[in-house]
Amino acid sequence: MINISGLAKRFAVENPKKLSEQEKKDPRLKGRFFNSVKDVSFTCGQGEVLGLLGPNGAGKTTTLRILSTALTPDKGSVLINGEDVLANPLIARKKIGFLSSSTGLYGRLTGRENIAYFGQLHGIDKQIIADRIDEMADLLDMHSFLDRRAENFSSGMKQKTSIARAVIHEPSLVVLDEPTTGLDIMATGTVMDFIHRLKAKGTPVIFSTHHLDEVQLLCDRVTVINQGETVFNDTLANFSALSDGQMHKSFMKTLSMETGVAQKCG
């Protein structure tokens, strides 16, 4: 069970005068600080897929970066099976596989070398790394480009390699930040099939997306963040029922909810 409770994170604004008019009107701006995440809470059980939704700038990426331990929150906790991973980032990085919105591959290394390097950082035996790379190459359809330099990869190739790199250590939780953005239909289908396989293995998956069809096909639970706060946190069925199965209307309806409603959701 993954339990995220009361996350908050603010950032100093170096020059408030340079902010756009829209940024100045954001209620999260308080003096010289911008409260990117004010109060975010949600849970994800074993074998569940949770879709994290919200408008651009809502605080989704900041939340996921906190979850990955790339950022330290000002408040809140992240528990994985009862263990506080924020208190021990080294343990967290062993338990969590994180795919950011930026692939960050080493261009002069091949896809295989990029994945193997991260496996070595996790202290995995070289033969086990090789076996896992072959397995993921099958699952993600990577054999045709696995031994080419990453600098020549298409967006889909980069994303598949990054996903394989994120799960090479077989983490207890997989976190994906917009994993299908910029991918063609075939690559998107492969990534979604891979998420289904993680779910079948009992691995919880948290992913952010703007594609509601992906949420409908993959998710067990839905969390919506608006202006840095959780406004909906419940099952996919209850999210869909907000507007008789019309996902877009359900999403828009959550944006008009007060944050207290989220605390009542299951």
Pairing mode, strands 221-226 and 229-235: antiparallel
* Structure token digits, residue 177: 């930040």
Output 258 or 257, whichever has higher pLDDT: 257
DSSP H helical ranges for the chain = 21-25, 60-67, 89-95, 111-121, 126-139, 155-167, 185-200, 212-218, 236-241, 247-255, 259-264
pLDDT average, residue stretch 144-154 = 96
Least confident of 110-119, 131-140, 178-187: 178-187
Residue type, 44: C
The domain defined by 2-264 carries CATH number 3.40.50.300 = yes
pLDDT average, residue stretch 153-165 = 92
pLDDT digits (tens, 9 = 90+) for 23-64: 788 889 988 899 999 999 999 999 999 999 999 989 999 999
pTM: 0.89
Under the banding of pLDDT at 50, 70 and 90, the label for residue 181 is confident
User: Is a pLDDT exceeding 70 seen at residue 264?
Assistant: no
Query: How far is residue 265 from each of residues 82, 192, 236, 245, 262, measured CA to CA in Å?
Result: 21, 27, 12, 18, 5
